[in-house]
Chain A
Amino acid sequence: MEEQHKNGGNKYSIIVPTYNERLNIALIVFLIFKHLRDVDFEIIIVDDGSPDGTQEIVKQLQQVYGEDRILLRARPKKLGLGTAYSHGLKHASGNFVVIMDADLSHHPKYLPSFIKKQLETGASIVTGTRYVKGGGVHGWNLMRKLTSRGANVLAQTLLWPGVSDLTGSFRLYKKSVLEEVISSCVSKGYVFQMEIIVRASRKGYHIEEVPITFVDRLFGSSKLGGSEIVGYLKGLAYLLVTT
C-alpha cells in the first residue's frame, strides 16, 4: 500500500467497552489523545450501565474533547464483551476499528505502531502480542504465567493459528473484516478473542503482529480459576471442530 500523507484519509474508530471504569476511562481517553495527534479517530465507549458513574465522567470528557470525538453508546445492563463490540461497531464511522480494554492493561502509546504496521503491510488485522521481543507482561505470578504458557502451547499445537498471542484483545481491524468475522463468532470471554482471530486466519485474511506490553494492575487477583480453564478447553475443542 502506498503510504500517503499522514494516514491517507483513514479514520479509526476505537471501541472501548466499560463497566465500572470511571477513573480508568478518563485516563485512557487522555492517553489516546496524547499519543494519536495527527490521526483522524473517534472513541466509542460502550458502557454497560455502570453504577459507579462512568457515564458521568464520559460526559465531562465530551465537554473537554468534543462530542464528535468521544461517543457514548451505553447499554442498560451488563450484556457481555462480544455483544459490546458489535454494538460499538454499529456506531463506528471509521474504515478501521481498534478494540482495547479500558483497564489500562492496554496502553494507548502502542496505537501508532498498530496504525504504522497496517499502513506498511496493508494487513486486514494487526494484533498486539505479548510473547515476542519488545512485548511483555507485568504483574503475573508464576501460576498465571504457567497457565498462560500451557494454554498457548496447547492452542498452537492443535489449531496452527499463525499468530503468537491468541487471547490478547488489543487489535486493529479493517471495519469490513471485523463485521464479517464477528457475525460468525459465538464464544464468550477469552475464547471470543481466540475465535475471532482463528476464524479470520482460516478465511485467509492477512494478519500482522506488533509487540505490546501488558501491565496487570489487579495484583494477586488471578482471573484464571478452574472454571476458566475448563471453559478454555471447551472453546479449543469447539474451534477444532468448527473452523
Chain B
Amino acid sequence: MRDGGGSAALLLLADGRLPAGSYAHSGGLEPAVASGRVVDMAGLERFLIGRAETAGLIVAAFAAAACACAARDDITAMAGLETELDARIPSAELRKVSRDLGRQLRRAMGAVHPHPHYAALGAAPHHPVVLGVVAAALGLDPRDAALAILHENNAGAAAAAAKVMRVDPFDVHAIIARMAGRLDQLAGIAANAAAGPAADLPSPGSPLADIAAEHHRRSDVRLFAS
C-alpha cells in the first residue's frame, strides 16, 4: 500500500473527466455491438475481460515501462517502446487511435501539469507512453501508471455500453466492481514486465478487436471514434 503520497494524483490521472479526449472512444465496444458480437450483459463482461487481458495488459505494461524510464530521465528509451508497441498493434486504425489519444493527453497535461519530458516524445507519441511519462511527472510509480490506464480503458468502454446497448448502469458498474481484483493483478504483471527488456513486454493479441476497428473506421453511422 502507498504510504499516503500520490493517491490523489493517481485518481486525477485515472479520472475519465480529465479533458484528454478519451470520452470519444468506446474501446472497440461500439463495433463489437454493431457486428452483433456483444448482445447482452454476459457478452459485455466477456468483452471487457478479454480486452483487459489483451490490449489492456499491453498498454498497462507500456505505461509502466515508460513511467520507469521517465523516472530515471531516460527519454531516449521511448523510441524503442514506440517501436515495440507498434509491433503489438497489427491494426493501423488502432495504432492511429493510440497516437491520437497520446497527442491529446500530452496537450491536456501540458496545460494541467507541465513537464519538460512531454516535448521530447516526438510528434505523435502512443497513449500509454505519454501516460507513463505523465505518471512519472506526477510522482507516481510504474504500477500506478499501469493501474490508471487499465482503469481508464475499462471504465471508458463500460461507460460507452450505456450509449450503444440497452443496459442498466448498475449492472455495468457491477461488472467493473467484479473486475477490480483482475485489474490489480494485471497492473502487477505489467509493472513486473516493465522491469525487464522491452522486447519481452506482453503482447497478447486481440484478433476481433483488430478486425472490428478496421470496419468501424469505414462505418457511416457511429457514435464513438473507436
- A associates with B: no
